C-alpha cells in the first residue's frame, strides 16, 4: 500500500481542513471503521463510522467518481470548497476529506437525529415554540452564509439534519432540535451584492423554489429566504403552502404567491407567526424581508412589547401610503436610524425644502420618472411613484397654506407636497424617505 499524501488545496479564506490523497481505498479503513449505512443516493453512500484512534463517531459520505461523472464531481468539489470556508454551530462541520483515483470521502459530524423531514412526518406538525427554535437556528445559519456571499439555493427539510434534541423545561410533548444545514451541492459563492453578481440558473426542489428562480430571472440570496418561509409553513401545519397536480401548475401557484391559512390547525397559530410567513413569502424579493431581519423579528426574539416593524424600506413606504395617519408608522423613525441625518444636516435640508416650497408652484409637478435600471426589479420605482403621486388634497392644502398668514412648512400637507415637488430632483430615495417620515413624526 502506498503512503497517503496530504494534498494542500486550501486557500487563505478556507478553514484548515485536512485533504488527503490516497492511492488505495482500503487505506481509509485503517483510520475509520465503517458501521451502518445511513443513506444512499445515485452515486454516493453515507455511513456511520468510528475513528479508530479516538473512538469518536463520524459520518462519511463516499462518492463514486465514475458513476457521478465529471459534472457531478465538479459540483462535489465546489461543495467541499464552500464547506471549508464555513464554521457555524448550525451548519454541518466538515472534518476532513480523502481522495482516491476512484472515490472521494467526506468526513462530517454525525447527526443522530436524522433528517428534519422524518421527524415532521412522525410528529405531523411542530408547535409554535418548537418552530420558533428551528427557524431561529436556520435563520442564524443563513445570515452567516449570506454575509460570506454564499447562497445555498436548496434549503429544504431533507437538507436540515438534527444533531440532537432535548425537552428540558418544556411541555413533555415539545422538543428543541439542534439543527444543522447540510448538502451544499447547489450552493454558490457570489462576488457580493449588485446586479453583476445576480444568479440565473434554475435549480432547487420545486415546492421550495422562489418565484424569481422559477422565472429564470436574475435572483439573489433572497431565494433562500423564500425557502425558509416554505419550511416554516410546513413545520406549523405539516403541508406545503403551494400544492398542485403538476409542476407547471405548482409553479403558477408559487408565482402568484396566494397564501392560505384556512386549515383549522392555523386557528391555534398566532397572528405574529402568520405575519412572519407572509413577510418571508413575498413574491417580489425586493419586498421580502432578509434573513437578518427575520432574526430580529419580535416573533423570533420573543419581544412582544413592541409592534412588528417594517425594516424593509419599500414596506415602510407602503405602510405610510396605505394609512398615513396610523400611529404605528411612528416606528419608522427607529428603523431609519441607520440612515438618519445629523442635526445640522436636518436643519439645512429642512430649510432647503422650506425655500423650495415658497418658490415652486406645486400644482405643476408630475409623478416621478426614473431613467435608471430597466430590469424587472421595478417595484421599488413603483413604490416611489405611489408615494409621490398623492391625491389632490395635498396640493390644495399646500396652495391654501401659501395664501394664508401661516408660514410654510407648518402643516403636514405642505411637507408632503414638498416631498412631491422634490420627486423630480436628483435627491436620493433615502432623502425623500427622510422627508416623508419627518412629516409623519412631526404631525402624528
Active site residues: 154
Secondary structure of residue 183 in the 3-state scheme? coil
Handedness of CA 416, 420, 426, 430 (dihedral sign): positive
* CA 28 – CA 229 distance, rounded (Å): 41
Residue 62 is labelled as binding a ligand: yes
Q: CA torsion 221→259→270→276, rounded to 10°?
A: 20
Q: How far is CA 10 from CA 7, 13, 23, 45, in A?
A: 9, 8, 20, 25
For residues 114 and 162, give the distance between their C-alpha atoms in angstroms, rounded to a whole number. Answer: 6
Q: Is-contact 152 184, C-beta < 8 A? A: yes
Do residues 129 and 172 lie in contact, with contact meaning Cβ atoms separated by under 8 Å?
no
> Where do we find the cell 404631525?
443
User: For the CA atoms of 357, 359, 363, 366, what is the dihedral angle to 10 degrees?
Assistant: -80
CA distances from 116 to 179, 249, 299, 322 (A): 8, 27, 22, 40
Q: Which residues are annotated as a binding site for ATP?
A: 62
Q: Which residues are annotated as a binding site?
A: 62
Amino acid at each position: 500500500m502506498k503512503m497517503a499524501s496530504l494534498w494542500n488545496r486550501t486557500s487563505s479564506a478556507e478553514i484548515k481542513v485536512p485533504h488527503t490523497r490516497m492511492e488505495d481505498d482500503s487505506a481509509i479503513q485503517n483510520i475509520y471503521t465503517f458501521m451502518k449505512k445511513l443513506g444512499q443516493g445515485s452515486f454516493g453512500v453515507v455511513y456511520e463510522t468510528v475513528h479508530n484512534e479516538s473512538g469518536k463517531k463520524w459520518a462519511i459520505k463516499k462518492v463514486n467518481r465514475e458513476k457521478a461523472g465529471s459534472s457531478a464531481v465538479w459540483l462535489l468539489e465546489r461543495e467541499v470548497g464552500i464547506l471549508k470556508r464555513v464554521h457555524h454551530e448550525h451548519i454541518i462541520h466538515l472534518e476532513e476529506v480523502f481522495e482516491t483515483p476512484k472515490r472521494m470521502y467526506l468526513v462530517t459530524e454525525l447527526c443522530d437525529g436524522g433528517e428534519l423531514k422524518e421527524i415532521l412526518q412522525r410528529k405531523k406538525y411542530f408547535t409554535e415554540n418548537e418552530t420558533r427554535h428551528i427557524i431561529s437556528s436556520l435563520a442564524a445559519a443563513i445570515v452567516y452564509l449570506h454575509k460570506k456571499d454564499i447562497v445555498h439555493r436548496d434549503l429544504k427539510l431533507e437538507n436540515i439534519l438534527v444533531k440532537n434534541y432535548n425537552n428540558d423545561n418544556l411541555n413533555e410533548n415539545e422538543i428543541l432540535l439542534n439543527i444543522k444545514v447540510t448538502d451544499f451541492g447547489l450552493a454558490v459563492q457570489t462576488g457580493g451584492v449588485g446586479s453583476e453578481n445576480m444568479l440565473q440558473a434554475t435549480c432547487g426542489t420545486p415546492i421550495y423554489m422562489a418565484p424569481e428562480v422559477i422565472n429564470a430571472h436574475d435572483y439573489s440570496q433572497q431565494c433562500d429566504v423564500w425557502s425558509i418561509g416554505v419550511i416554516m409553513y410546513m413545520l406549523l401545519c405539516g403541508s406545503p403552502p403551494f400544492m398542485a397536480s403538476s409542476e407547471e401548475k405548482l409553479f403558477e401557484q408559487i408565482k402568484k404567491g396566494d397564501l392560505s391559512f384556512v386549515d383549522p390547525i392555523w386557528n391555534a397559530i398566532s397572528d405574529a407567526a402568520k405575519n412572519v410567513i407572509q413577510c418571508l413569502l413575498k413574491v417580489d424579493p425586493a419586498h421580502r424581508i432578509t434573513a437578518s431581519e427575520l432574526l430580529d423579528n419580535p416573533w423570533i426574539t420573543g419581544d412582544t412589547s413592541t409592534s412588528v416593524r417594517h425594516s424593509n424600506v419599500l414596506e415602510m413606504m407602503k405602510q405610510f401610503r396605505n394609512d398615513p395617519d396610523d400611529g404605528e408608522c411612528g416606528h419608522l423613525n427607529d428603523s431609519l436610524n441607520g440612515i438618519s441625518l445629523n442635526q445640522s444636516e436636518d436643519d439645512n435640508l429642512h430649510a432647503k425644502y422650506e425655500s423650495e416650497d415658497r418658490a415652486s408652484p406645486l400644482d405643476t409637478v408630475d409623478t416621478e420618472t426614473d431613467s435608471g435600471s430597466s430590469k424587472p426589479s421595478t417595484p421599488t420605482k413603483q413604490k416611489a411613484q405611489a408615494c409621490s403621486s398623492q391625491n389632490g388634497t395635498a396640493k390644495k392644502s399646500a396652495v391654501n397654506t401659501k395664501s394664508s398668514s401661516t408660514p410654510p412648512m407648518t402643516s403636514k400637507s405642505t411637507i408632503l407636497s414638498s416631498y412631491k415637488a422634490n420627486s423630480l430632483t436628483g435627491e436620493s430615495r433615502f432623502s425623500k424617505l427622510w422627508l416623508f417620515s419627518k412629516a409623519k413624526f412631526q404631525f402624528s
